[in-house]
Every structure is written in structure tokens, then in C-alpha cells.
Structure 1
Amino acid sequence: MKLAKVVGNIVSTVKTPSHQNKKLMVVIPIDPSGKECGDAMIAIDRFHAGIGDYVLIIEEGGSARDILEDPNGAIDAVIAGIVDC
């Protein structure tokens, strides 16, 4: 798991079947002090995170698919929880 900050959302009219009806967010990994420490990525959100929220993300595809209960999905990263600061 990685700590990240939500910096945006993605709107798409055409998605793969595994992304249909899923909320896509742009997140940037951060270190414990809140400093950005990686490149922005897209993560699927099931926890209703918003821009500015700190979240935990899982970047391992198998675990991400388990959280979304989609064993055949084309899923690389998922928001696994919102950090309450």
C-alpha cells in the first residue's frame, strides 16, 4: 500500500468493461510528511474520495481486483481507504 493525495478525477465516455460504472481518480504518491514522491496515476475509487483527500492505494493488480471483486478486470490501482487526518 502507498499513501497518496487525490488531485483530480477522470471523465470518460468509453471504458473497458471492467471500468464501467467505476469512479476514476488521479492520485499522486506522497511520503509521510506530505511531500510528493512519485508520478501521478489513475486509481479506481470505491470509497467516495474527493480532491484533496489523502488515501491509501494498492498498485498490485491481483489485490486491486480482489477489492473490486473482478478477477478478470484490467485493474492496476485502486483506492483502498481514505486517511482521516
Structure 2
Amino acid sequence: MLTGKVVGNVWATKKEPSLNGLKLLIVSPYDPRTGETSRAIVAADVVGAGIGELVIVVSGSSARKILGREDMAVDATIVGIIDEVEVEAGDGI
């Protein structure tokens, strides 16, 4: 799992049929200790996240399992919206 910040939406009228009905968002992985972000990814959203929110993202087979379909063309799924993050000072994470 990773934490990320939702930075945008994706609309695609033509796509793999298994993706029909999925909300797709652009998520920038986010380090809560440093505030640094990294290369953005597209993730399916199952929790109703919106732009600017911090989220929890799962990837790989876990991303497909949460959607209930092992054969989907999905690499990342948003599974939670973060209310608060508390990080110990120092070398922590």
C-alpha cells in the first residue's frame, strides 16, 4: 500500500470493456514525512475520493481483488481516504 494525493480525473470514452463504470483518478504518490510526491499513476476509485484528498492505494493483484475481478486491466485502486497522518520525527518510515 502507499499514500497518495489525488491530483486529477481521467475520462476515457474508449477503453477496455472491463473498465466501464469505474471512476479513474490521477494519484501522485505522497510521502507524509517529507511531503514529497513522485510520478503520478492512474487508479480506480472505489471510495469516492476527490481532487486534493490524501488516499490509500493498493497495487498489483490486490488492486484487482478489491474490485472482485482478477482479469481486469487495473494496476492500482484507491481503497481509503486519509483523515489524518501522524508520523514520528526522525528516521521513522
Structure 2 length as normaliser, TM-score?
Answer: 0.84
Q: CA deviation at 1:10?
A: 0.4
Checking the alignment, whether the CA contact within 8 Å between 1:27 and 1:43 is kept in structure 2 is yes
Unaligned runs of 5+ in 2: 85-93
Aligned to 2:56: 56
Q: Secondary structure of 1:21's partner?
A: coil
The percentage of aligned residue pairs carrying the same residue is 45
Residue 75 (structure 1) aligned with residue 49 (structure 2): no
Decide which structure has the larger Cα Rg and report it: 2
Q: How many residues align?
A: 84
Matched to 1:79, the amino acid is I
Runs of 5+ unmatched residues, structure 1:
none
2:16 is the counterpart of 1:20: no
The CA distance in 2 between the partners of 1:28 and 1:14, in whole Å, is: 24
1:18 to partner: Cα distance: 1.8
Deviation of the 1:34 alpha carbon: 5.8
Partner of 2:65: 66
> Which letter maps to 2:12?
S
CA RMSD, Structure 1 to Structure 2 (Å): 1.2
**One-letter code aligned to 1:3:** T
* Deviation for aligned residue 1:3: 0.5
Report the counterpart of residue 39 of structure 2 in structure 1: 39
Cα separation, 1, equivalents of 2:52 and 2:37: 16
TM-score, normalised via structure 1 length: 0.92
Amino acid at match of 1:80: V
Secondary structure of the 1:6 match is: strand
Runs ≥4 residues deviating over 6 A? none
